[in-house]
Amino acid sequence: MSNWDRFLDAFFNARVMAKYLPDIAHGTLVTIELAALVIVSGLAAGLALALLRSLGFRLVNLLIIFVVDLFRALPPLVVIVFIYFGLPAVELSPSGFVSTWLSLALVLMAFSEEIFWAGITSIARGQWEAARSTGLSYGQTLIHVVLPQAIRLTIPPLTNRTIAITKGTALGTVVAVSEILGMASSAVSNSYNPSPLTLGAIAYLILFLPMVTVGRWLETRMTWRR
Amino acid sequence: MLQTFFNVDIVSQAWRIILAGLGNTVLLSAIVVPLGLAGGLALSLLAGVRKPWVRWPLMAWVDFFRAFPPLVLLIFLYAGLPFVGLELGGFACVCIAFFLNNGAYYGEILRAGIESVPEGQTEAARSTGLGRLQTMLYVVLPQAVRNVLPDLLSNTLEVVKLTSLGSVVAMPELLFQARQAQSLTYNPTPIVVAALVYFVMLWPLVRLLSRLENRALARR
């Protein structure tokens, strides 16, 4: 067998690929499910924290800043490992799926709070004052005046950060989540052929390449030139 | 609770193992950060070539590696390549994966930085007799780096955190060592200690970044 044939047989083995395609497809669904949960809960929690912070309770704000800093400084894999291998010591045994979801959602919460907060504070004070003086309440000012402008500013950095953290769903494989990488890895050891990894790689590209492209487009489209 | 998650006996047993891990994490970061920066610099300089046959493949390359989870890349190198007779070992795999992944990220950041320097700067520099390379090195790059410094720092933070992936391919870095200590002592304290070490090490950078980012957004 020539080197080229050997390469094709290893990474593009049609028989192995056909056999494990259903597994990888199933893994893709798990990845999508995990990613959707992470994005929705992470962003919602981040926005909620940013809004809470805008109320200006000193003690609460210090706590928020600490939590945000903590999850920006800790590697997501460390958080996952702690939740999955550490919590059972106190009789809590979250599954790999829940551990990964929780960890990534916390990390996304921290990063998105920071971005939402920067967006809110970037809206000039005069806008608040003007809106309030026309008779809008605090909540109305926030929803109709501040947030529409703040969110526009925050969309490009938020998109890029969300993509980066969502890619972390692959970390789930370390705690036995049957997502794409986990399925591909076990298929490799079952078939003794790395073609399932190629399939997995393709699945990731199909999922994330459109997101990266949209992120790139948003970045050029929505940033205001300085 | 304290007995379980911050057991002093366990800490006194495990601190040597964890310290060794910290040393390796620092060492690994000191290798992969410059490696990624070098790759990124090369990509961002190539992006200055305005030929379509350079631009499009370059953009595809960058987007490809930005779409690929770094762990998938790492596993591909570590578990896939041995099947074609290429056994690289954990360390080499981490270096290659980080070079490809972070090169793409650093490249995008530096490209944006270079594009943020007005064309007039290049023209002025060239008209004083500086060569193209000199113009890039002494005039454009310093301003470009300054303009995107928050992004560069933020990506560097991510890279240092990402070295924890090395644990998956048995690199004895901080997380791996903590996991070892945990399985030796049947107690999660080592993981808490490792998390604490990461936090103490990276917190100043996080603080600095959040100030820089707030300022950058407020200025728009």
The distance from CA A155 to its chain's CA centroid, rounded to whole angstroms, is 14
Residue of A nearest to B176 (CA): A78
Count of structural domains within chain B: 1
What is the four-CA torsion angle of A137, A138, A140, A146, rounded to 10 degrees?
140
Q: Is 60 exceeded by the pLDDT of residue A224?
A: no
Domain CATH for B86: 1.10.3720.10
Q: What is the pLDDT of residue B197?
A: 95
HSE of A38 in the Cβ direction (CA atoms, 13 Å)?
32
Q: What is the pLDDT of residue B204?
A: 95
pLDDT digits (tens, 9 = 90+) for A137-160: 988 998 898 888 888 888 888 998
Nearest to B188 among A89, A122, A164 (CB): A89
B201 neighbourhood in chain A, CB within 8 Å:
73
Q: Is 60 exceeded by the pLDDT of residue A225?
A: no
Interchain CB contact of A72 with B (< 8 Å) = yes
pLDDT digits (tens, 9 = 90+) for A160-207: 889 999 999 999 999 989 999 999 999 998 989 999 999 999 999 999
Mean pLDDT by 10 residues, chain B (220 residues): 78 86 94 95 88 89 91 92 86 94 94 91 92 91 93 94 93 92 88 94 93 69
Using a pLDDT cut of 70, give the percent of chain A over it. Answer: 97
Interface-testing mutation among B74, B83, B189, B214, with chain A (most A C-beta atoms within 10 A): B83
Q: What is the pLDDT of residue B153?
A: 94
B206 vs A123: CA distance, rounded Å: 23
Q: What is the pLDDT of residue B217?
A: 62
Write down the ipTM of this complex.
0.89
The least confident of A87-101, A209-223, B189-203, B206-220 is B206-220
Q: What is the pLDDT of residue A26?
A: 94
Q: What is the pLDDT of residue A226?
A: 41
Q: Which domains does chain A have, with CATH numbers?
A: 19-177+196-222 (1.10.3720.10)
Q: What is the pLDDT of residue A223?
A: 60
Q: Which of residues 2-21 of A touch B (CB under 8 A)?
A: 6-7, 10-11
Nearest to A73 among B162, B175, B206 (CB): B206
Interchain CB contact of B2 with A (< 8 Å) = no
| Residue position matching structure tokens 């990509």 | B43
Domain extent, residue B178, equals: 2-219
Q: What is the pLDDT of residue A8?
A: 85
pLDDT digits (tens, 9 = 90+) for A117-132: 988 888 878 888 899 9
Report in angstroms the alpha-carbon separations of B100 from A216, B77, B145.
19, 12, 21
Interchain CB contact of B194 with A (< 8 Å) = yes
